[in-house]
Amino acid sequence: MRTSVLFSGGKDSALSALLMEPFFEVELVTCSFGLLPNQELAAKTAKELGFPHRILSLKWEILEKAYEKIMNDGFPKYAINYIHEKAIETLASDPDVKFIADGTRRDDRVPVLSISQVRSIEDRLGIQYICPLKGYNRKTVSTLVERYLRIEEGPSESIPKADYEIELRELIRQRHGDEKIKELFPAHIQSHVLSRKELS
Amino acid sequence: MRTSVLFSGGKDSALSALLMEPFFEVELVTCSFGLLPNQELAAKTAKELGFPHRILSLKWEILEKAYEKIMNDGFPKYAINYIHEKAIETLASDPDVKFIADGTRRDDRVPVLSISQVRSIEDRLGIQYICPLKGYNRKTVSTLVERYLRIEEGPSESIPKADYEIELRELIRQRHGDEKIKELFPAHIQSHVLSRKELS
């Protein structure tokens, strides 16, 4: 059974892939609007982890709609959730894709689909959506990441990743400058996966 | 890292154990009020699956309180959830137990702890609670069970299991007879795990 895991290069999506690996044939999928080349880094990380990887192009209009949302809202939550939903829908429209997974944890708030959004996607598009970390709290996830992955961490602007936020930030930077980004996105710590840890 | 998986002999708790097996040292734990010997069957199943197993005695007063609840409510949901919460608390009070897991699925309604109940237990008792199937829908769980486990299925009264329901049913049978059980418990299909499937 093949599963497509939405992969940003971060620790949550990488750990999700590791947890599924014994039971599914895992491929990693990184989304792109074509605005930044960050998917290349995700491809490199996927190779380090030993998983097949591909880039999924998302329609530019999804990014424009997310841009409208964040500019209206003044905060990123609904814009990021919107991109996440559209990313899953885009992936689900591939007839070869039957299982889609991501790195959503128990305590996550963004990006998180509601149970009705999930059921709607599953019913409309005939896929099964899996969140392997949904039953794990932050502390247990950290324990597993510490055990199985080498990562680097830092403020979101300094860590190269391929999550939904990065291209939305870039669009806002191009149109409004760096100050606007600081205004809209709360500062937070991001992680980027380097490789698996050798188990002793 | 050792994790204690609450184990009824059913497919959900068995699949949870299988999903954790590559990453944790799994022990299976079956709860008992001492009213029925069904834990022996769970012990046998655990042995078939190749996991260490132990029986956890629960205080009789928990069963009496659950009995009060179901007699007042006229349906089993809150009584079963109450036993589940107390079972996790009892297990969590063992100082050697750090991780507790169970077979709760995404679409489950009973037994399910609320997120505030979970956080309260984690904070008060210093354990981490894991639901490996929480991010899996019914269909995906069935697909994985079909692939990895041999099971038998049937109406709840005919399938020997060691879930929380079985001793509560027995107490009601002893005090009120079989008719009362039919009145209080909706008929549903239960499963009992026989062994792992040999993978071809």
pLDDT, tens digit, for every residue of B19-72?
999 999 999 999 999 999 888 899 999 999 999 999 999 999 999 999 999 999
What mean pLDDT comes out for the span A23-37? 95
pLDDT, tens digit, for every residue of B99-126?
999 999 999 888 889 999 999 999 999 9
Q: What is the DSSP letter of A24?
A: S
Per DSSP bridges, beta strands B149-155 and B189-196 are: antiparallel
What mean pLDDT comes out for the span B134-159? 91
- Residue A143 pLDDT: 97
What mean pLDDT comes out for the span B145-149? 97
Determine the Cα–Cα distance for residues B136 and B140; give it in Å rounded to an integer.
Answer: 6
CB spacing of B1 vs A143 below 8 angstroms = yes
Average pLDDT across chain A, whole number: 94
CB spacing of B23 vs A23 below 8 angstroms = no
Angle at A8 between CA A6 and CA A10, to 5 degrees: 120
- pLDDT of B169 > 70? The answer is yes
Residue of chain B with shortest Cα separation from A119: B137
Longest Cα separation, chain B? 51
pLDDT, tens digit, for every residue of B44-57?
999 999 999 999 99
- pLDDT of B157 > 80? The answer is no
CB spacing of B134 vs A137 below 8 angstroms = no
Length of chain B counted residue by residue: 200
What mean pLDDT comes out for the span B11-20? 97
Chain B positions touching A123 (Cβ under 8 A) are: none
- Residue A164 pLDDT: 86
CB spacing of B135 vs A137 below 8 angstroms = no
- Residue B131 pLDDT: 97
- Residue B200 pLDDT: 63
Instruction: Give me the residues paired with residue B54 across strands.
Output: B29
- pLDDT of A82 > 90? The answer is yes
- Residue B163 pLDDT: 84
| DSSP-H helix ranges across chain B | 11-20, 39-49, 60-73, 77-92, 115-125, 138-148, 164-176, 178-184
Q: Is the ipTM of this complex over 0.90?
A: yes
Domain that holds residue B140: 2-196
Chain B positions touching A23 (Cβ under 8 A) are: 19, 144, 148
Within 10 angstroms of residue B165's Cβ, the number of other Cβ atoms is 21
The 3-state DSSP class for residue B86 equals helix
Looking up residue B129, the CATH number of its domain turns out to be 3.40.50.620
Chain B positions touching A104 (Cβ under 8 A) are: 135
Does the predicted model carry a pTM greater than 0.90?
A: yes
Determine the Cα–Cα distance for residues B82 and B90; give it in Å rounded to an integer.
Answer: 12
pLDDT, tens digit, for every residue of A64-73?
999 999 999 9
> In the A/B pair of chains, how many CB contacts fall below 8 A?
53
Contact yes or no for A1/A100 (Cβ under 8 A): no
C-alpha neighbours within 13 Å on the C-beta side of residue B134: 21
pLDDT, tens digit, for every residue of A127-147?
999 999 999 999 999 999 999
CB spacing of B135 vs A139 below 8 angstroms = no
Q: Which residues contact B96 (CB under 8 A, 6 or more apart)?
A: B2
Task: Tally the domains of chain B.
Answer: 1
Determine the Cα–Cα distance for residues B128 and B113; give it in Å rounded to an integer.
Answer: 14
Determine the Cα–Cα distance for residues B14 and B146; give it in Å rounded to an integer.
Answer: 12
Closest CA to A188 of A149, A145, A159, A151: A159
- pLDDT of A200 > 70? The answer is no
Q: A5: left (phi > 0), else alpha (psi -120 to 50), else beta?
A: beta
- pLDDT of B197 > 90? The answer is yes
Q: What is the DSSP letter of B197?
A: P
Within 10 angstroms of residue B182's Cβ, the number of other Cβ atoms is 11
